[in-house]
Structure 1
Amino acid sequence: MRIGIGIDTGGTYTDAVIYDFDQKEILHSAKSLTTRDNLSKGIGGALDGLSKDLLKQAELVSLSTTLATNACVEEKGGRGKLIFIGADREVVDRTGKLYGLPDSREIFFVEGEVSLSGEIVKEPDWDKFVKDCKEQLKDVDAVAVVQQAGVWNHECETKAKVLIEKNYGLNTICGHELFSDLNYIKRGASALLNARLIPVIAEFLESIKYALEARGISAPVVIVRGDGSLMSERFTTVRPVETLLSGPAASVKGGVELTLEQDCLIIDMGGTTTDLAIIQDGIPVKAENGVAVGKWRTFVKAVYIDTFGLGGDSAIRYNRFGTPIELLSARVVPLCIAAATWPIVTDKLELLVKSGISSSNDAGDFFYLVKEPTNPSYYTEMEMALCQALKTEPRIPSELAAELQIKPYQLPLERLEKEGIIMRCGLTPTDIMHVKGDFDRFDRKASRLGVEYAAKYLRITADQLADLVYEKVKFTLYANILRISLAHTYPDFKSKGVPVEFDRLIRKNWDAAKTSMNKNLLNVDFSIPYTLVGIGAPIHVFLPDVAKALHTHYVIPENASVANALGAVVGNISATTVVEIHQEQDQPYIVFGKSRNYYTMDMDEALELAKTEAREVARIEALNRGAVGDIIVTLDIEGAAFPSKSLDSVVTIKVKATANGRILI
């Protein structure tokens, strides 16, 4: 019997399974709260729910996580710095924000130029570069270096990396090490995101290592990439951006494994986000041009997964003078969970309700200290004072403001929240589920008090508020399923977005689905022929009504709540590389290789050079990711000759090699 352990660390829960590779079945499963202040506690809690004897027999530990995805959605992460060599600042100003880049004043621009044929036209002034780095790289965790034409010649990227690591000891990644795609703005955004995620994933891997060693588990560790394949622990520390959509990709594999549905939508509702993937003929649809998460548009190749901010821990915001209930994409700790950890939360909520004072939104939220700042000099005196005030227990804004002698709206919360130093607790759908009796794992009294406080402000009953939240969750799920389905069916909607008129139509259809009374002159009814496969702890509460409104059926499989952990352990290694051949009129064919460029006047020779280069690079990449045994490499060739304004024709040929290997022999 060959045993593997699958672990998924989500924003709210950490799941674990013991899997029998020979019988292809789950032997044990367990679930524990994710402990963001110390991830090893939550991971250890899940492992402790499994058979100790089987744990020590494990030959492999495979991990999936939503931490990188959640960091993008919640705008959290380390302090990364992007260095652009040869970039046009005006182009960056005009288009950078479309891909998630910060203001250009936060980017380090360096002069340098590489021609379209891969020749260095102008090399940076390296002495000046090293000197300028002292100011540019202060207070930075990691660095991304991207040359405007670095996919054709990456010598300058590589030299910049060597100089930074030698003189400043900072973790540095080059754009060409991550992606071979041309759009340097998007490449820059992807590389910067990689730098920001390095401390996030490093903390995760340290927690995993600690939890495994404490339980005598010595099996090798691998991590799920966004395309559902696996990579080694060492590889992950360098390329954490490839864990984007790791958790959702694992849930897709797990959902397909559990249901064997050939045409379906996999809907994974977690604590922070809901992820939706499309399965056609048993194969997940892939993202053609890289994935987008939150504000970031990247070149990360992955299963096509649409992630939107909706989960059990979505922050509920209420307003008496507009839309009464809104669900924010930001995750907060549910009041019921906070009170289970700190009973004083319930006491303070009771005092708030009894006070007779009602206010909107965060007046009833709590804040607690997740971790102390590692470098106090990075923060203001007021930020440090706020951290000091949270050392003993969670507090509401009015308490903090009184201690710091400022108004509540002056509290310096934003940066501390974004960097994960402090965490917010507030009213969430998980609390509403406790009030309605659909979930009862934590402190129901705290949830009820939070609902009473919000309902009092809105001048409605607690039951009415709970119904409004359920209605909001269901409609948000319904609307996003339709938005994604429309975009997949009609490509214009994917590139340009679904027109606002459709939003109104979607709303009308949802309202009509809840009643048999419909007196519209024209009825447009949406239906989806695909099965809705529900994954994740809260999904069973909301999916039935959504499926009914879409005139389809749904499946919530056994072990649905640990599908991510199952998906993590059933994957293998896959690595893809693309080598491009380029020729203009009577000029030589240029083969843009990984380590060097090749020039030849013979087309057949250029093609053979490209094939050899692509095969070898893909094979080495698979080995670096942890493949063992025989590695199978397949080739795919795309070619085109097209007119040029100044030349008779331009030839571009792409040779794509995909290497597949096993993680276990």
Structure 2
Amino acid sequence: MTLHYLLGIDTGGTYTDAVLYSETAGILAKAKALTTRHDLSVGIGEALENVLESSGITAEAISLVSLSTTLATNALVEGQGGRAGLVMIGFGPDDLKRDGLAEAVGTDPVIYLPGGHDVHGNETRLDLGALEEALPLLQQGVSSFAVAGYFAVRNPDHEIRVRDFLRENCHLPVTCSHELSSKLGGPRRALTTLLNARLVSMIDRLVGACEDFLCRRGIDAPLMVVRGDGALISAAEARLRPIETILSGPAASLVGARHLTGLDDAVVSDIGGTTTDVAIMEKGRPRLDAEGAVVGGYRTMVEAVAMRTFGLGGDSEVRINDRGLMARMELGPRRLVPLSLAAALHGADVIGILERQLRATHVGRHDGRLAIRTGVPDHLAAGLQAQEAALFARISNVPVALEQLLTSTPQKATLDRLVARGLVHICGVTPSDAMHVLGRQGQWNREAAELGLRLAMRQKDGTGQPIAGSPEELAERIVARLTRQSSEVILTACLAEDGIGDIDPSRSTLIDRALRREPGIVQFGLSLDRALIGLGASAPVYYPAIGEMLAVPCEVPGDADVANAIGAVVGRIRSTVTVFVTVPEEGVFVVSGAGENMRFSDEEKAFGTARRRATEAALAHARDSGADDAAVSIVEEIDAPQIEGNRKLVEARFIATASGRPRMVHD
């Protein structure tokens, strides 16, 4: 039996984790490094060098490398991503009003072209005139294109022609909707395609950073990426369809949670720097969301674990509302660079700003807030408006105080747009800083964390009193707020799974009384019907209190900090292909999907062709993704009601799924 060494990587918003794993001996070594967003290869390289050094395994012995990431999820939660041009074929402006598409588009350009197909794949003539006219100027303001055609899942010809035109006339990435989903629902498919286009450059940089390191170190092994449903795809596939990596990290964490705890039924909650991801595990498998993953408020067509992602993590923005009699505190959804981390990276520059602000006699509106470039490549700043470009030019790779940067009120909105584009980070107080002040975390700079909390506690509530008497008191309140908000998001996810998602735990008086154990003639309590598994690097410091608040057993496994990286290497490749049979007229059967449309006069011949085509396409796709000895299963869904005593075929769907372990380089 060949001994395989598998290398698992998880690139999160704050940390990049690496694990060296053997299928016989388990975890051999693990390591962490800060995620370096300006150049992802730096953080990836550091984590991988550390794990190889501590394991003593040579680079040549690695059989497989597998990557999970929360970067795509974080980008959608935080409203980040490149600017994309959306080409709609056969749709009109009113279609933007459906499925949240207009909100997702925002200020990105949309081009409408005549064309498209009907449900049976028959075309309306395509006219490229509007795109030809707009392209010279359009390509200067976007970083990618998304193409969505009317009923393209039944006939993708127009999407392909538009894609080919764009590729011939500009060099930007192009995503077509039929490549991402075979489901009907044009506006939601267009939304999914738009989000995919925005993520292309980010995932391309991530995969490229991994490949560069592997090449440099002489690791000649297949590179896989975890998909949102926990399955693996090849790095090449992930580059084409980065939207499939949304919830990649959370999906990997579920696979890792099952592997680390052995629990079959649990609520799994994974806290990172940017997000908290909550999912339900039943009988050893995660529940899948049949309607498509919801991330950042958008319902996509990506099949993924039924994971709910909330903008709450160790690096969440601490927002203090001091307008009432009692100051109120909320965390997230935006991620900030913790002041303790900023000072660990930039030392005296950060400390000097905070000390100067603390010496001032008046409380500044932007005290404790700094801005710094993320360091992404310059071409990703394409399409900035004049005021955005001017402000961006004043921000460098060294933190600058917002009080010095923002000279007028409108500039705050301009800065927020730069943050949303992923070009600028805001540094400020976060729960991670509170933990440094309390001595429960110590990896970064405690002095900066304390200075930040001293600045924040100078704010006064409605009674004219400072919101806290000491940095430690404020830190305890921040951590208590994270405990409460974490409990609320876990309950939100569980209530939704129970079909009562209309109850908002953050607004419910009864849930509030139950969580606070408030005494009364009527006493309220709540719990979960299964254990809570806490994952993430900071899970050991946060989750015991969360489990106590929810009155549920809480398990934080010893390797909770690298559960995603573990899940990445123990997953399987899985490919699903759907082929349709429809009846446009009596006695005519049209087979569509996984190839050109075909017409038959015999139903059984059409069904046989559809079965064979779905099976062969699923197997071929699984093999292309690196599956070894893939097995295939097929599900047939036939809609054929009896009408006036006669069977009438409406539609048949042949869904083939091929699955197998990744091919190892030393097999």
Q: By the TM > 0.5 criterion, same fold? A: yes
Please report how far the alpha carbon of residue 183 of structure 1 lies from its aligned counterpart in structure 2 after TM superposition: 0.5
> Which residue of structure 1 lines up, in the alignment, with residue 310 of structure 2?
308
Residue pairs, 1:393-472, within 5 angstroms? 393-401=398-406, 406-407=407-408, 410-411=411-412, 412-458=414-460, 459=466, 460-461=468-469, 462-472=471-481
Residue pairs, 1:521-532, within 5 angstroms? 521=522, 523-532=523-532
Q: Which amino acid in structure 2 is aligned with residue 45 of structure 1?
A: E
> Which residue of structure 1 lines up, in the alignment, with residue 194 of structure 2?
192
State the SS of the aligned residue for 2:516: helix
8 Å Cα contact 1:99-1:186 kept in structure 2: no
Please report how far the alpha carbon of residue 55 of structure 1 lies from its aligned counterpart in structure 2 after TM superposition: 4.4
> Which residue of structure 2 lines up, in the alignment, with residue 568 of structure 1?
568
Matched residues in 1 for 2:195 and 2:441: separation? 36
8 Å Cα contact 1:100-1:189 kept in structure 2: no
8 Å Cα contact 1:585-1:650 kept in structure 2: no
8 Å Cα contact 1:268-1:536 kept in structure 2: yes
Please report how far the alpha carbon of residue 20 of structure 1 lies from its aligned counterpart in structure 2 after TM superposition: 0.8
Of 211, 228, 231, 1:229 maps to: 231
Single out whichever of 591-600 and 632-641 deviates more from structure 2.
591-600
Of 469, 481, 493, 2:490 maps to: 481
Please report how far the alpha carbon of residue 382 of structure 1 lies from its aligned counterpart in structure 2 after TM superposition: 4.3
Of 343, 353, 356, 2:358 maps to: 353
Please report how far the alpha carbon of residue 639 of structure 1 lies from its aligned counterpart in structure 2 after TM superposition: 2.0
State the SS of the aligned residue for 1:447: helix
> Which residue of structure 2 lines up, in the alignment, with residue 202 of structure 1?
204
> Which residue of structure 1 lines up, in the alignment, with residue 463 of structure 2?
none
Q: Which ranges of structure 2 fall in alignment gaps of 5 or more residues?
A: 461-465
8 Å Cα contact 1:198-1:240 kept in structure 2: yes
Of 162, 187, 190, 2:164 maps to: 162
> Which residue of structure 1 lines up, in the alignment, with residue 115 of structure 2?
112
> Which residue of structure 1 lines up, in the alignment, with residue 182 of structure 2?
180
Matched residues in 1 for 2:89 and 2:627: separation? 34
Q: Does 1:366 align with 2:370?
A: yes
Matched residues in 2 for 1:348 and 1:107: separation? 43
> Which residue of structure 2 lines up, in the alignment, with residue 278 of structure 1?
280
Please report how far the alpha carbon of residue 36 of structure 1 lies from its aligned counterpart in structure 2 after TM superposition: 1.2
State the SS of the aligned residue for 1:364: coil
When normalised by structure 2's length, the TM-score is 0.92
Matched residues in 2 for 1:136 and 1:157: separation? 18
Q: Which amino acid in structure 1 is aligned with residue 178 of structure 2?
A: H
Please report how far the alpha carbon of residue 115 of structure 1 lies from its aligned counterpart in structure 2 after TM superposition: 1.9
8 Å Cα contact 2:140-2:382 kept in structure 1: no
8 Å Cα contact 2:280-2:286 kept in structure 1: yes
> Which residue of structure 2 lines up, in the alignment, with residue 101 of structure 1?
104
CA offsets 1:331-380 (integer angstroms, 9 cap, x no match): 111000101111121122112112132245x4321111222633777334
Please report how far the alpha carbon of residue 22 of structure 1 lies from its aligned counterpart in structure 2 after TM superposition: 3.1
State the SS of the aligned residue for 1:150: coil
State the SS of the aligned residue for 2:452: helix
CA offsets 1:376-406 (integer angstroms, 9 cap, x no match): 77334544443443336211111224xxxx3
State the SS of the aligned residue for 1:463: helix
Matched residues in 2 for 1:138 and 1:392: separation? 26
> Which residue of structure 2 lines up, in the alignment, with residue 639 of structure 1?
638
Matched residues in 1 for 2:495 and 2:521: separation? 23
CA offsets 1:519-546 (integer angstroms, 9 cap, x no match): 143x342211211111101222222222
Paired positions, count? 646
Q: Which amino acid in structure 1 is aligned with residue 33 of structure 2?
A: S
Of 316, 327, 331, 2:331 maps to: 327
Distance 1:124 1:253, change over 3 A: same
Single out whichever of 338-347 and 6-15 deviates more from structure 2.
338-347
> Which residue of structure 2 lines up, in the alignment, with residue 51 of structure 1?
52
Matched residues in 1 for 2:382 and 2:89: separation? 30
Matched residues in 1 for 2:553 and 2:226: separation? 30
Distance 1:96 1:102, change over 3 A: farther
State the SS of the aligned residue for 2:591: strand
Matched residues in 2 for 1:391 and 1:510: separation? 45
Please report how far the alpha carbon of residue 499 of structure 1 lies from its aligned counterpart in structure 2 after TM superposition: 5.6
Q: Does 1:76 align with 2:80?
A: yes
State the SS of the aligned residue for 1:216: coil
Matched residues in 2 for 1:644 and 1:179: separation? 31
8 Å Cα contact 1:81-1:144 kept in structure 2: yes
Please report how far the alpha carbon of residue 274 of structure 1 lies from its aligned counterpart in structure 2 after TM superposition: 0.6
Please report how far the alpha carbon of residue 210 of structure 1 lies from its aligned counterpart in structure 2 after TM superposition: 2.7
Distance 1:413 1:425, change over 3 A: same
8 Å Cα contact 1:108-1:136 kept in structure 2: no
Single out whichever of 556-565 and 594-603 deviates more from structure 2.
594-603
Matched residues in 2 for 1:91 and 1:128: separation? 18
State the SS of the aligned residue for 1:50: helix
Q: Does 1:261 align with 2:263?
A: yes
8 Å Cα contact 2:491-2:505 kept in structure 1: no
Matched residues in 2 for 1:307 and 1:202: separation? 23
Distance 1:214 1:507, change over 3 A: same
8 Å Cα contact 2:266-2:530 kept in structure 1: yes
Distance 1:584 1:2, change over 3 A: same
Residue pairs, 1:550-561, within 5 angstroms? 550-561=550-561
> Which residue of structure 2 lines up, in the alignment, with residue 242 of structure 1?
244
> Which residue of structure 2 lines up, in the alignment, with residue 620 of structure 1?
620
Distance 1:105 1:428, change over 3 A: closer
Of 145, 148, 157, 1:146 maps to: 148
Please report how far the alpha carbon of residue 446 of structure 1 lies from its aligned counterpart in structure 2 after TM superposition: 0.6
Please report how far the alpha carbon of residue 201 of structure 1 lies from its aligned counterpart in structure 2 after TM superposition: 0.6
8 Å Cα contact 2:505-2:512 kept in structure 1: no
CA offsets 1:452-481 (integer angstroms, 9 cap, x no match): 111111302223322221121111111111
8 Å Cα contact 2:7-2:62 kept in structure 1: yes
Q: Which amino acid in structure 2 is aligned with residue 572 of structure 1?
A: R
8 Å Cα contact 2:116-2:158 kept in structure 1: no
Please report how far the alpha carbon of residue 98 of structure 1 lies from its aligned counterpart in structure 2 after TM superposition: 5.8
Q: Which amino acid in structure 1 is aligned with residue 610 of structure 2?
A: A
Single out whichever of 12-21 and 295-304 deviates more from structure 2.
295-304
Q: Does 1:658 align with 2:657?
A: yes
Distance 1:489 1:359, change over 3 A: same
Please report how far the alpha carbon of residue 584 of structure 1 lies from its aligned counterpart in structure 2 after TM superposition: 6.1
8 Å Cα contact 2:640-2:647 kept in structure 1: no
Distance 1:424 1:489, change over 3 A: same
Q: Percent identity over the alignment?
A: 34
> Which residue of structure 2 lines up, in the alignment, with residue 32 of structure 1?
33
Distance 1:501 1:397, change over 3 A: closer
Matched residues in 1 for 2:505 and 2:451: separation? 38
Please report how far the alpha carbon of residue 410 of structure 1 lies from its aligned counterpart in structure 2 after TM superposition: 2.4
Matched residues in 2 for 1:269 and 1:531: separation? 16
Distance 1:379 1:319, change over 3 A: same
Distance 1:587 1:130, change over 3 A: farther
Please report how far the alpha carbon of residue 267 of structure 1 lies from its aligned counterpart in structure 2 after TM superposition: 0.9
Distance 1:423 1:499, change over 3 A: closer
Q: Which amino acid in structure 1 is aligned with residue 640 of structure 2?
A: A
Please report how far the alpha carbon of residue 38 of structure 1 lies from its aligned counterpart in structure 2 after TM superposition: 1.6
When normalised by structure 1's length, the TM-score is 0.92
> Which residue of structure 2 lines up, in the alignment, with residue 597 of structure 1?
597
Matched residues in 1 for 2:39 and 2:240: separation? 22
Q: Which amino acid in structure 2 is aligned with residue 432 of structure 1?
A: A
Of 288, 291, 302, 2:290 maps to: 288
8 Å Cα contact 2:254-2:268 kept in structure 1: yes
8 Å Cα contact 2:113-2:130 kept in structure 1: no
Single out whichever of 193-202 and 633-642 deviates more from structure 2.
633-642
Q: Which ranges of structure 1 fall in alignment gaps of 5 or more residues?
A: none
